[in-house]
Amino acid sequence: MRRPNQERDSRLVAIVGPESSGKSTLAKELAQRYRGVWLPEYARGALPGTSYEETDVAMIAREQLARENDFCEAEPTFGVLDTDGIVLQIWFKVRFGHVPEFLLRHIASQNPREYLLTYRDLPWEPDPQRESKDDLTALFDLYETTLQAWRFDYQVVRGIGERRVKNALDLLNAQRA
């Protein structure tokens, strides 16, 4: 995988966190505010609901990672990932009890990025693909320990509505200061 030119003033931000924690909304807002581009979560359109097999998730993961690679190759000035390998890793771990080797290899060699971990302080909203309403605290903790295990720097985003967006902007701006 090609790494972006470190001398180039470009940023890649990955939004990760439990379901119903505002990842997609935040990704779109950040891309708009920074006049950047965002890569949507592929699984959103690929699965009709919560009935699926491991092979379905593996196909989704491969497609998401391929799209991420293409996205990074384009070297956007400001790019936002609505999901990345960390989200996929946790999905595999929680649903199937293990993580495929291809996914771990991808995460180990991925393009450098800043992580924003969305806190679970938003009201849970039903959705045909959501399946962990009662596990949001445990999922948040799993995201934190997973990011720490990979030794990825991350910031936790809290707040509701515009406050959440402002908090994310403040965190990102502080990292650049």
C-alpha to C-alpha distance for 16 and 140, rounded to whole angstroms: 9
- Residue 124 DSSP symbol: P
Query: Is the distance from CB of 18 to CB of 120 less than 8 angstroms?
Result: yes
3-state helix, strand, coil in the chain (%, to 5): 50, 10, 40
Q: In this predicted structure, what is the pLDDT of residue 21?
A: 82
User: pLDDT 10s digit of each residue in the chain, 177 long?
Assistant: 434 444 456 899 999 998 878 899 999 999 999 999 999 999 877 876 667 899 999 999 999 999 999 999 999 999 999 999 999 999 999 999 999 999 999 999 999 999 999 998 877 666 656 566 557 789 999 999 999 999 999 999 999 999 999 999 999 999 876
Which fold does the domain 11-176 belong to in CATH?
A: Rossmann fold (3.40.50)
Q: In this predicted structure, what is the pLDDT of residue 62?
A: 98
Residue closest to 91 by CA, chosen among 146, 37, 48, 134: 146
Query: Is the distance from CB of 128 to CB of 149 less than 8 angstroms?
Result: no
Write down the pTM of the prediction.
0.89
The residue ranges of every structural domain in the chain are 11-176
Q: In this predicted structure, what is the pLDDT of residue 130?
A: 53
Q: ∠ at Cα 176 (21, 157), nearest 5°? A: 15
